[in-house]
Amino acid sequence: MKNTAFLEQLAVNDFQVGIHGHIHEAKDENFQYDARRGLKIIAAGTFGAPAKEQVTGIPLQYNLLTLDPESGVMTVETRKKEKADGAWSADARWGDKNNPVPR
């Protein structure tokens, strides 16, 4: 996100997670306001993008978020579709570069 003033407002009001969609690229970013406050920003691609806005060569993507209420742990499952009429599958791109996982 380019509007860091908005991110600062979220951080100082104790938000910890931001979700950004329709950016045509899966990203995992951090916005650090100060030593103890910041946001994890979860971004995904083009799940609901109209055909005219879909970029060829980049898979369609979405993230499925699950939250364990007891532990407070959130898991982000990344999914992709390589072809417009194809099936959705796991999008293993996180963690160890040589052995990535879809979460």
Collapsing DSSP to helix, strand or coil, 35 comes out as coil
97 domain residue, yes or no: no
Q: What is the pLDDT of residues 69-91, one digit of tens each?
A: 999 998 988 888 888 788 889 98
The residue range of the domain holding 31 is 4-90
103 domain residue, yes or no: no
101 domain residue, yes or no: no
pTM: 0.63
66 domain residue, yes or no: yes
95 domain residue, yes or no: no
- Total structural domains within the chain: 1
13 domain residue, yes or no: yes
21 domain residue, yes or no: yes
**What's the CA gap between 79 and 89, in Å, rounded?**
6
pLDDT at 11: 94
96 domain residue, yes or no: no
More confident residue, 9 or 76: 9
Residues in CB range of 94: below 8 A, 6 or more apart: 28, 78, 100, 101, 102, 103
